[in-house]
Amino acid sequence: MPAEKITSKVRIREILEQAKFCWKHQGQNALLMAIHEGLLKKKVSFPLLEFAAREMALWIPENEQLAFTDTLVATKEMGSYVIAGIILQLRLPLHLEQSIQGACTYIVTGDQWYICDIIGERVLGHALVTFPEKTIPLLKQLAKYSDKWIVRAIGVATHYAVKKGLSPKFVEIVFKLLLSLSNATDFHVKKGIG
Q: Is residue 23 domain-shared with residue 69, that is, in the same domain?
A: yes
Task: Specify whether 81 is located in the same domain as 124.
Answer: no
Whether residue 187 lies inside any domain: the answer is yes
Look at residues 173, 177, 193 and name the one whose alpha carbon lies nearest to residue 185: 193
Helical segments of 62-147, H only? 62-73, 78-91, 96-110, 113-119, 126-130, 132-142
Number of structural domains the chain divides into: 2
- 72-85 tens-digit pLDDT: 999 999 999 999 99
- Give the tens place of pLDDT for each residue, 107-165: 999 999 999 999 999 999 999 999 999 999 999 999 988 889 999 999 999 999 999 99
Q: How far apart are CA 117 and CA 176, in angstroms?
A: 21
Q: Residue 5's beta-bridge partner residues? A: 43
Domain range spanning residue 193?
A: 107-194
| pTM strictly above 0.85 | yes
